[in-house]
A and B are shown apart, each in its own frame.
Chain A
């Protein structure tokens, strides 16, 4: 089974609108962390936001928020007021505590394109 599933290979959004990128995960560990990264065409991986499994509130970082629904095992990224510079590949990732919390497992990504 896939640890991280991103079902949207590509998304389009108009500038200034909000967009939600889906991510579901699979783990039996009670302790885990969820991450979102942005990868522009330049190739660098940019950390955006983190949610811990025990966090009571959804994480927010500026225009980014993480819609964490633990029972449904989903960790969707919401980008508000989209900008042209948000066009990039977005990866959801999870780190589990099993095995010492070593492996950060990534989904296959969602390509977001912001249009005028």
Chain B
């Protein structure tokens, strides 16, 4: 596709349920990031995938959060037993190159609301 695609765009779920958020990166981009943005706040790093390397999971806030990337392309972020504090916009980004100069291109985000 032309850009990073995320689905769903909006998700309302009940507290305690599990949710899956999907990200389709730009074709050919080897790096993929997940961020979380709470209302009016900056972006909180969650996890990073680069090719076949082990992901950098240092930003995951708890063991209820996990992510995988299949075939080096599509990624799924899973939140188990959702809590109200998980409500936020979850942004996915991808970049073409490894290294400090690689700009990241973002999707439109998934707005998660836990009720």
List A residues at the B interface (Cβ < 8 Å): 31-33, 35, 37, 42-47, 50, 52-53, 91, 93, 95-97, 99-109
Contact = CB atoms under 8 A, between A and B. Distances in A.
B89 A43 contact: yes
Interface residues of B, number: 27
Interface string B21-64: 00000000000010100000111010010100100101100000
A33 B100 CA distance: 5
Nearest to A96: B100
B60 to A, nearest CB: 12
Contacts of A100: 50, 53, 56, 98
Given A35-B103, A100-B98, 13 more contacts: A33-B102, A43-B109, A44-B107, A46-B106, A47-B104, A50-B103, A52-B100, A53-B100, A91-B42, A101-B99, A102-B50, A104-B93, A105-B45
Contact of B48 (A44, A47, A52, A102): A102
Contact of B42 (A43, A53, A101, A108): A108
A35 B93 CA distance: 14
Interface string B75-95: 000000000000001010100
A58 B45 CA distance: 27
24 contacts: A32-B100, A33-B102, A35-B104, A43-B109, A44-B106, A44-B107, A44-B108, A44-B109, A45-B43, A45-B91, A47-B105, A52-B101, A53-B100, A95-B101, A100-B53, A100-B98, A101-B98, A102-B56, A103-B45, A103-B59, A107-B42, A108-B41, A109-B41, A109-B42
B24 to A, nearest CB: 15
Output the residue of B43, B53, B91, B101 with the most chain A CB within 10 A.
Answer: B101
A52 B33 CA distance: 20
A46 to B, nearest CB: 8
Nearest to A107: B42
A73 B18 CA distance: 42
B101 A50 contact: yes
Given A43-B108, A45-B93, A47-B105, A106 B100 contact: no
A25 to B, nearest CB: 12
Nearest to B3: A44
